[in-house]
Structure 1
Amino acid sequence: MRTIHQGHLPVRTIVLIGMVLLITTRAYAQNANARLTLTLRNATLKEFTKMIENSTGYSFIYSEEISIKHKINLKVKEKPLHEILDLVFKNEAVSYQFSGRYILLQKKKKIKSVSRKFTISGYVTDGTSSETLIGTNIFESHQNQGTTTNPYGFYSITLPEGETSLRFSYLGYATETRQFTLSKDTLMDIRMQGNTQLQEVVVVSDRAEAGAMATQMGSIEIPMTQIKSTPSILGEADVMKAIQLMPGVQAGVDGSAGLYIRGGSPDQNLILLDGVPVYNVDHMFGFFSVFTPEAVKKVTLFKSSFPARFGGRLSSVIDVRTNDGDMQKFHGTFSIGLLTSKFNLEGPIVKGKTSFNISARRSYLDLLAKPFMPDDEKYSYYFYDVNAKINHKFSDRSRLFLSIYNGKDHFSTKFDVNTDYEDGTKMNWGNTIASARWNYIFNNRLFSNTTVSFNNYQLGIHSYTTSQFGGTTGKEVNRYSADYRSGIQDWSYKIDFEFNPSPIHRIKFGTKYMYHIFRPEVMTSKISDQANEQDGQEKTYHSINNNHLYAHEISAYAEDNFRINTRFRLNMGVHLSLFHVQDKSYFSFQPRISARYQLVKDIALKASYTQMSQYVHLLSSMPISMPTDLWVPVTKKIKPMQSHQFSLGEYYTGIKGWEFSVEGYYKDMRNVLEYKDGVSFFGTSAGWENKVEMGKGRSMGIELMAQKTIGKTTGWLSYTLSKSDRKFAKGGINNGERFPYKYDRRHNINLTVNHRFNDRIDIGASWVFYTGGTSTIPEEKTAVIRPNDGINNGSGGGWVIPYEPSFTNTSPTIGETNYVEHRNNFRLPASHRLNIGINFNKKTRHGIRTWNISLYNVYNAMNPAWIYRGHNKEGHGVIKKYTLLPIIPSFTYTYKF
């Protein structure tokens, strides 16, 4: 054999040879991910290798002793080469390995009868930014075992020693393969690179922790690409508006961000920001949410089959995870729209060790409207959000995350009727959330996350009146002011563990403690008089001064997601909780179970049962979210709400790039609250326990969904058939008869389509249709005759007779009142709406410039926000509707650098 030494060749030749080898290696590495369509029947190993060589350009190398026991029967369509090799050699004593332009075939090492097992673990991150990837799929082909990364990007899989082939896949990224001999516990961090073959398509969802492949049902991962491309009011991409397009989810008032999920009310949704509950998720009186899309990494919705780690609400869990920050380089976005401006900036503080991510948003209606307002009337409204996060990596086993969110709404009015009179109101409300999270890997099988958090929601209203007038002794000044405050504050500590003893078991357990401080209401008023420019007297009154309510909440959970066999998987768990308030304790045992059965290759069946408990209530009387809505806890009189939900589902994935599903559910609810007949909550919680009744509720429905997940055109079509009602004790609400829930809507259709024409133009559209909810409308006027003192009619309430205008106000006293036969007696008309948005993208020297033009309610459908009884021109009583949002155009400019 002749050896060529470096000195015998020119340096230029050596460089050229190296470049050719590098280009060839990269080219064949890309061919390994190329998709092939093959059909083979009773083929030999030689025939199979020949066909692969002709199709890919690879060459097989193997000795004469390499053989297969079974003839090859294969029919695949557009599968990667490594997956085809996995299928062919799955049940054979042959292993393969890529080496440049060659594929080496070798005999598999014999597995010992009693083999040792070792654990492979680590983090999966973006190869460019080092951002952790949630829900990455990890699959080992020899053992046919797999797992996924958790919400912090960590994975762990235990396998027998010997030849190991791990494949890491995440939509939008090139598949990473690691082949080696497993002989000890191994820490392996994976950095995944963006797949250039997928740059021209829009990826809708990776479906790793939710969807058809997950054991849970009723869980949906909503990708940020979909949220950002969904047209919305004034071009504001919104997390809650995107969730409203999912099956089983309804909006409240047209255009609002409220969520009514499977027959539940808005306070029955547990909304988490990096694991911390958010009580007020609305801006602009409910029409926008507090989540800035640029700060969000992933959103997961659970409608049923709730994992045991979640508790405290009946209807849904919305888990929002924010970006950790790029550890390698600085980049960001800046956006200007009709309503808001916002920016996002992220980058390394210490490269490879510490990163930051900060997002901020502010509306400027107050600034735009100010020049056009008259001098004697001033209105002002704006809101802002700030998200900030620091991510520090101590080591491969230890990471720290510090997060803070602050968001506020400000509304004010001021009237100067003349120089002698002035009054005004200032209203502020919002959240402050701070948390510290520490991830620690005890060993390759045990992962922990410890969180300490603070959450504060508060509302403050200040109103004042100043009047001046001349008196007998000179000018006098009277001042009146009132302050109204309410809120809720939480301190919490929790620790979560994830234990992976084997690939077929994924165990999670943990505990949590929360200290609640409820501040229902405090109202203080002051009156002062001043005469002849001398100090006068000031008096202070406390018209409402509810005591603070202190509550302790302790919970613990355990769940196991395990595989019984290749077809059958189970997730079983239990959530335990204890709530202590007013010297009374409530304990709840909440079992959870969900099952998935693979009927055939592309069809899966699922079933689940979930029990949930809720210890807080939201008092509200308005059809839209108002800052005066109050959170109150259970008390000695008011018991916790409970729900039992049963679900069944079928899923089909046989068409590439498509997912089809049908889910049915029945939910039974206990101790739900409704206001008694004739009373409601108007900005005061005083005596609220006497204004409400506890009763039963039920909800049932069928949800169908067809979704296209990959390609230039993506989107989904969903249809929901549902029913929801309430029932209270006889003598209480509606005389004990069952009545429809306020947002009982029988039919709901959502169509969402996104199409990418090329790198420069893409379009998004959504069309919704839903039948009307219900409302309580007086059917006729009646006259109430109340006897004078000393006259006893035996009922203490008088008689009700049909109202006639001829009655006069004589003894006994006669007064008008509304007559309503039953609760929610009127059904609103159906609503429908089309939204369209177009993005024009242009690459510049330093980034990407995007113009978005959107139309909300394209054909100006006059949908009812609410209805009321009024009069027509002839004076006859009619029912009228109020439309809140007509057609609204918008444009937004975004620069990504």
Structure 2
Amino acid sequence: SDKTEWNLGDLLKDIQNQTDITISYSSSQLDLSQKIVLPLSHMTLFKCFEVLESSANLKVIVQNNKILIAKNYISGSVTHQKGSFSGFVRDAVTGEKLIGANILVLPDFRVGVTDPNGYFFLEYPLEHETYTLTISYVGYKHLVLKFSGTSRFQSDFFLEPGASFNPVIIYDTNKTDSYGFKNPESSQKPAKIQFIPGSFGGIDIFRELASLPGVLKTTDLQSGVSIRGFGNAYTNYMIDGIHLYEPNHSFGLFSVFNHQAVKHVALYKQDIPFEYSGRLSGVVNHELKNGNIFQWQGNIGLNAAAMDLTLQGPIIAGKTSVMLSGRKSLLDAWLPAFVAKLSDYKTSSLDFWDMHIKITHQINPRHRFEILSLQYNDQVSFSYSTVDRTFKNQVRWGSNLGGIRWIGVFGNKLSISSQFAWSNFNNFKNSKSIIFLTDQDTVYSNILGQSAIKDLIWHNQSKYYFNNDWQLKAGIKASTNRMRPSLFKKINFDIEDLEPFLESGKDSVFYAVGMYADLTYSLNHILTFGAGLQLKNLFSGVMPLQMFLNPVLRLDYRPLPEHQIHLSIQKLHQAHHLLLQNSYGLSSDFWLPVTTVLPAEQMWQLALEYHCQIGQNIDYQLSSFFRKAYNMAAFINPGDQYDPVLDRGLILPVFTDSGEWEEKVVAHEAFSYGLEQELSLKWEQFSLITAYSFGKTVYQEKVSDQVYTYPGDFDVPHALNVYLKYLPRDGYCYFVSWQYHSGRPVSLPLDGYLNQDGQWILDFAQKNAWRIAAYQSLDAGFSAFTATDDWVMEYAIGLTNIFNNDNPIGAKMYLEDGSFSVRQINGFPILPYIRFNFFIR
């Protein structure tokens, strides 16, 4: 063009049109209408940039085919001044903001990390003429920029994805990055999902989590995961910070979180951020993808268990995006016949579906608005028959949750987020039985159970960066919670009278208001101190006000850049009791609120860990912990554990308005301790990850002034995971995965009989005096993907449980010819799998 007078926005567009260079800048920082006068109509690119720096007071950084342009706030000498970098780190393809990206400024060795909004702020002394900024994130190519001293530089930074196929990032928040910056909100040592095959070859996030030290699925059918010896009830499962009560599909075979819709998963075993508090043992927070703001993309996945479809793209290009992801079970087509061959159970229905939706609107580069929703539904029907009895069971459960969230950044030091959310869980069970006592007498039984939970939550949080050393996070959270625990039961009625008599539990409503603050100080990145305090109030119409103070203290010491020692102590509380912690994957029963009889569960945790990284190929971590918990709820009668399916409904108490259940529940104490270690090795195309955990969990229960001590429900002394991966070339992967852990304890009856009403009368041994057999599984497989500019195709084949080991999922009581026996129920034999994904980009 022969023009010499431009406005800044048009000039930058013209440069991009005439070259293959990508220019990145923040439109909120630059005045795109600013007039620019070029001395000549035809100039070289670098001469043009010199004019921008001199006349428009801009800072231009050139790296390969990328250019960053930002406002230059000062000029002249830089001695004895401070500079700063701030901005958002994004995916260059989709525009997604990257959480937990590592920031490094050399030669001063200043380090930082992006927060849950993808934002970072980093100061450094202006003592050198040139600096190097490095931004890195697992699964992405590093961004390295060289620049001269400048006071403040603010921009959006775009990272290009690597060759990995549609990666999901899992954060083990115990770990730190090689630079040693420990942040209470996100891990500095994320890892790509390893695609360990789940049930029938599907990718399941919980199976991935169970490969980390201190995290277990004690059977193939366990609900959720157990963390450091505490079960499903004590783990906070969240999606974008919203709590989900039941995280499982189909007997625990799959989680409700479709990995195609999830951007990253954060696991907290200690130092749990106050905004995620509410459970004692840990947090698993899933962050959904925001959707591609530049172009439409699609993904189709298929395996023996389910098929899924994911679409994401712009509603308004560059401003508003949507992500839709749905999944539908295929198990009904073939699994009932498969189960009938392996066991005495007849499965007539095993169906589920789920839908994830997220809409993101960029108000401007510093403010965004999000709407999200998760809905799912499960239905399981099965039956069982013996000579003297027949059972028919139907279980339905589902959840719908959603939220509206606003996130904003003010200046370059303050970020604020505000969220309104809801979470609803519904659970229905129908168990029918026919028991033939004699040739003349027949007992018909119908047990209906129904429970529901409804939450409303408002949460506001602010984070302020005083400087590179001091950070403050504070927030307020308010919620209402409505619970309906109930068991409906009628026995010994005539065959014509099959309409059940319903006896409903009473709704329990309580309110919670909490405030928290957390302050972090770093001394030259050698010592980092953190301290926080949460104040929470619980109240309802039938319970006096209860107040909780939950402190946390953290200390990080880094004697050398590759070595770190971390010490923390934290107090947590939980205002929900789950009386049935299913180890067999059915939906959770009997969530109960805090009452005067059952006070809030509380726990102290002390944790010490050491982490070192030797070069880029060796990573080692050793962790130890001690936990002491109070007021943990359980039935006095342990009968719900001896038979995972058929008989448990016959021995549960009836929940009524009279509060009868409170007489059958006891609050006990517990403590756990353990060691965890993880070693990662890389050598050329090979990588090896080993994780070993030793742990002990002990319950102490007081009944009638008598104290009983017994192993916890999820006490697993030893667990070992080994994962070996070989990448012969880009797009191809061979792997072998071996998992072993000790069997968990169970409570079993010594004897039992049917009374005249057809009820089992059981004589139990001491609680958890038995252990089921150890679990071990060897899996192996191969995956590959091919890619063009428009699409990626991935496929995988392999075998699970190659040993064909009889891995137990529980124990069952049998009464044959007048004799009583208990037998182990085994899981799946050796199974082949195949998985297919097609991604359009």
Give the TM bin, normalised by the shorter chain. Answer: 0.7 to 0.9
Residue type at the aligned position of 1:410:
Q
Query: Hey, what does 1:577 align to over in structure 2?
Result: 536
Cα 1:854–1:333 change in 2 (3 A) is same
Q: How does 1:314-463 map to 2 (within 5 A)?
A: 314-368=280-334, 379-412=348-381, 427-461=395-429
Q: Which has the larger radius of gyration?
A: 1
Please tell me whether residue 651 in structure 1 is matched to residue 607 in structure 2.
no
- In 2, Cα distance between the equivalents of 1:371 and 1:748? 33
Query: Hey, what does 2:519 align to over in structure 1?
Result: 560
Query: Hey, what does 2:41 align to over in structure 1?
Result: none
Please tell me whether residue 665 in structure 1 is matched to residue 625 in structure 2.
yes
Residue type at the aligned position of 1:241:
R
Residue type at the aligned position of 1:717:
T
1:149 deviation in Å? 0.8
- Matching residue within 736, 743, 757 for 1:765: 736
Query: Hey, what does 1:604 align to over in structure 2?
Result: 564
Check the 8 A contact 1:135/1:151 in 2, yes or no.
Answer: yes
1:763 deviation in Å? 2.1
- In 1, Cα distance between the equivalents of 2:239 and 2:743? 32
Q: Which runs of 5+ in 2 are unaligned?
A: 3-14, 23-59, 66-74, 341-345, 385-390, 434-443, 641-647
- In 2, Cα distance between the equivalents of 1:715 and 1:385? 34
SS in 2 for 1:366: helix
Query: Hey, what does 2:711 align to over in structure 1?
Result: 740
Check the 8 A contact 1:357/1:389 in 2, yes or no.
Answer: yes
Query: Hey, what does 1:592 align to over in structure 2?
Result: 552
Please tell me whether residue 123 in structure 1 is matched to residue 88 in structure 2.
yes
SS in 2 for 1:653: strand
Check the 8 A contact 1:232/1:835 in 2, yes or no.
Answer: no
Cα 1:601–1:156 change in 2 (3 A) is closer
- Matching residue within 672, 694, 705 for 2:678: 705
Query: Hey, what does 1:193 align to over in structure 2?
Result: 160
Query: Hey, what does 1:749 align to over in structure 2?
Result: 720
1:830 deviation in Å? 2.0
Please tell me whether residue 169 in structure 1 is matched to residue 128 in structure 2.
no
- Matching residue within 460, 466, 471 for 1:501: 466
Query: Hey, what does 1:884 align to over in structure 2?
Result: 827
Query: Hey, what does 1:261 align to over in structure 2?
Result: 227
Check the 8 A contact 1:675/1:692 in 2, yes or no.
Answer: yes
Query: Hey, what does 2:71 align to over in structure 1?
Result: none
- Matching residue within 687, 693, 700 for 1:714: 687
Cα 1:696–1:758 change in 2 (3 A) is same
SS in 2 for 1:130: coil
Larger CA deviation: 636-645 vs 579-588 = 579-588
- In 2, Cα distance between the equivalents of 1:202 and 1:816? 51
SS in 1 for 2:193: helix
Deviations 1:540-590 (A, max 9, x none): 976322221111111211112220233111222112211213232221111
Please tell me whether residue 631 in structure 1 is matched to residue 602 in structure 2.
no
Cα 1:502–1:220 change in 2 (3 A) is closer
Query: Hey, what does 2:115 align to over in structure 1?
Result: 150
Query: Hey, what does 2:57 align to over in structure 1?
Result: none
Residue type at the aligned position of 1:690:
E
Please tell me whether residue 292 in structure 1 is matched to residue 258 in structure 2.
yes
Cα 1:706–1:174 change in 2 (3 A) is same
SS in 2 for 1:689: helix
Deviations 1:250-291 (A, max 9, x none): 213235353111121211001110010110100002221100
Cα 1:783–1:285 change in 2 (3 A) is closer
- Matching residue within 815, 837, 841 for 1:894: 837
Cα 1:660–1:383 change in 2 (3 A) is same
Q: TM-score, normalised by structure 1?
A: 0.74
Cα 1:866–1:217 change in 2 (3 A) is farther
SS in 2 for 1:623: coil
Q: Which runs of 5+ in 1 are unaligned?
A: 6-17, 27-95, 102-107, 416-422, 466-478, 532-537, 785-808, 810-814
Cα 1:559–1:400 change in 2 (3 A) is same
Check the 8 A contact 1:233/1:888 in 2, yes or no.
Answer: no
1:836 deviation in Å? 1.8
- In 2, Cα distance between the equivalents of 1:495 and 1:896? 37
Please tell me whether residue 280 in structure 1 is matched to residue 246 in structure 2.
yes
SS in 1 for 2:142: coil
Check the 8 A contact 1:381/1:410 in 2, yes or no.
Answer: yes
Residue type at the aligned position of 1:187:
Q
Cα 1:381–1:22 change in 2 (3 A) is closer
- Matching residue within 688, 691, 696 for 2:661: 688
- In 2, Cα distance between the equivalents of 1:541 and 1:283? 28
Cα 1:715–1:205 change in 2 (3 A) is farther
1:189 deviation in Å? 1.4
Cα 1:739–1:343 change in 2 (3 A) is same
1:124 deviation in Å? 1.1
Check the 8 A contact 2:543/2:595 in 1, yes or no.
Answer: no
- Matching residue within 167, 171, 179 for 2:147: 179
1:483 deviation in Å? 6.7
- In 1, Cα distance between the equivalents of 2:338 and 2:201? 24
Cα 1:339–1:99 change in 2 (3 A) is closer
Check the 8 A contact 1:201/1:712 in 2, yes or no.
Answer: no
1:239 deviation in Å? 0.9
Please tell me whether residue 728 in structure 1 is matched to residue 701 in structure 2.
yes
Check the 8 A contact 2:716/2:742 in 1, yes or no.
Answer: yes
Q: TM-score, normalised by structure 2?
A: 0.79
Cα 1:765–1:556 change in 2 (3 A) is farther
Check the 8 A contact 2:322/2:357 in 1, yes or no.
Answer: yes
**C-alpha RMSD of matched pairs (Å):** 4.3
- In 1, Cα distance between the equivalents of 2:266 and 2:188? 4
Query: Hey, what does 1:855 align to over in structure 2?
Result: 799
Residue type at the aligned position of 1:153:
G
1:838 deviation in Å? 1.6
1:158 deviation in Å? 4.0
Residue type at the aligned position of 2:766:
H
Residue type at the aligned position of 2:404:
A
Check the 8 A contact 1:219/1:303 in 2, yes or no.
Answer: no
Check the 8 A contact 1:594/1:607 in 2, yes or no.
Answer: yes
Query: Hey, what does 2:783 align to over in structure 1?
Result: 839
- In 1, Cα distance between the equivalents of 2:220 and 2:445? 38
Deviations 1:679-730 (A, max 9, x none): 6573654432221211210000011110247963334101111111011225
The number of equivalent residue pairs is 741
- In 2, Cα distance between the equivalents of 1:753 and 1:100? 36
Cα 1:201–1:743 change in 2 (3 A) is closer
Q: How does 1:4-15 map to 2 (within 5 A)?
A: none
Check the 8 A contact 1:202/1:712 in 2, yes or no.
Answer: no
1:295 deviation in Å? 0.5
- In 1, Cα distance between the equivalents of 2:339 and 2:233? 37
1:232 deviation in Å? 1.5
SS in 2 for 1:839: strand
Check the 8 A contact 1:200/1:759 in 2, yes or no.
Answer: no
Cα 1:685–1:761 change in 2 (3 A) is farther
